[in-house]
Amino acid sequence: MSVLSPDPEAVGTAMDFTRVHTRRSLLLLAIGAITGIAIAGYGLFTAKGTRVHGVPPEAIALVNQRPILRSDYITQVQTQYSVRFADTTPVERRKVLDDMIAEEMMVQRGIEVDLPSFDPDVRSMLVAGVELQLFADVLAQKPNDAELQIYYDAHRANYIRDGEMRLRDLVAAVNPQRPLADAQRDAAAAIAALRQGAVLDKVMAQFNLADSRRLMDSGHVDLGDVFDFAARARLDPAVFAAARVLDTGQVSDPVTTADGVHVVVMVKRVAPAQRSFADVSNEVWRDVSEDAKRKVRENNLKYLRSKADIQVAAP
């Protein structure tokens, strides 16, 4: 029997539930539909579609379903008025609660307008906050001397006192007037003279050698002490390699590079030296902590990357 074409025998009053009744079915269907639409409309137009009725016990208020915790509220009241919670007045409590609700609304507004996506201060604070949580365990570690010694032994190269050098980097330039062979001859003669104690300026003039001007300070040739790392960065690699093995007063063998033949005169040399554990234990202590932080940060980023959908345009 079709509902749309019911048996006339079966059609009774609406309250007779023993019989199929088309009008009653349609009526119930309509009531259900209207109720559903009303609930949906209420939720839609009041933006409270998922509202939970009643404030949960641990919260003092709900702001758009976000709880303000009762314990936070009590702490805030006590902190703000510097008295026990029991000794505060209803007005004082209300003020604190209003302030907390206002703050929550502002925070939610910030999220709504997506502040973290464009405000550098918010982004920095978020990063710092996440790192603070990550580093909590690392900061709690206080390695003892035995652990520091192990780290020191494994990273001895990090605790070498950088060397210093005061040098002259001279070059016998190669050009059409002086081919490479002539430059090499001049450099070799200059080296021989310098090793015999000849005066530098005279040798430079005699064999037509000029300063390479790789080590400069305010427009002048740097005649002062230079750390090894600085010399490494500024000198030709082959020249630096020749320089770093020289002692005070020594003159290098000729070093041929693209611009000519170099001669290094080491005026003063303080060689790099391994610093003892006793001297650097505090640095080791700091480095252990920084190293641990770095590892935690890397592992966290690795984990985040494993979860993230990152798409990079071709550079």
The answer to the question of residue 137 lying near other proteins (CB under 8 A) is yes
- Cα distance between residue 65 and residue 51, in whole Å: 6
Cα→Cα distances 264→52, 100, 246, Å: 82, 71, 9
- 3 state SS of 184: helix
35 touching other proteins, by CB under 8 A: no
In the complex with other proteins, the residue whose CB is nearer, 115 or 270, is 115
- Which of residues 63 and 134 has its CB atom nearest to other proteins in the complex? 134
86 sits near other proteins (criterion: CB under 8 A): yes
Q: Kindly tell me the sign of the dihedral angle through the C-alpha atoms of 248, 252, 257, 262.
A: positive
Contacts of other proteins in 276-315 (CB under 8 A) = 282, 285-286
Query: Which segment (9-17, 70-78, 103-111, 214-222) binds other proteins by CB under 8 A?
Result: 70-78
**Could you give the 3-state DSSP secondary structure of residue 20?**
coil
129 binding other proteins? (CB under 8 A): yes
Give Cβ neighbours of residue 85 (< 8 Å, ≥ 6 apart): 74, 77, 78
Q: How far is the CB of 296 from other proteins (least distance, A)?
A: 11
Question: What CA–CA distance (Å, rounded) separates 7 from 22?
Answer: 10
CB of 77 to other proteins, least distance (A): 9
For position 180 contacting other proteins by CB under 8 A, the verdict is no
Burial of 190 (0-12, 13-18, 19+ CB in 10 A): buried
For the chain, the straight-line distance linking the first and the last C-alpha, in angstroms and rounded, comes to 70
Phi, psi of 168 (to 5 degrees): -120, 130
| Chosen residue from 142, 220, 302, 305 binding other proteins by CB under 8 A | 142
Cβ nearer to other proteins, comparing 48 with 286:
286
**Best CA proximity match to 289, nearest among 148, 159, 155:** 148
**Sites for other proteins among residues 45-64 (CB under 8 A):** 57-58
Q: By CB under 8 A, is residue 90 in contact with other proteins?
A: no
Residue 123 binding other proteins, by CB under 8 A: no
For 126, residues 6+ apart whose C-beta sits below 8 A from its C-beta are 116
Residue placing its CB nearer to other proteins in the complex, 134 or 200? 134
Nearer to other proteins by C-beta: 79 or 306? 79
Residue from the set 20, 62, 101, 134 that interacts with other proteins by CB under 8 A: 134
Residues that bind other proteins (CB under 8 A): 57-58, 69-72, 74-75, 78, 84-86, 129, 132-137, 139-142, 282, 285-286
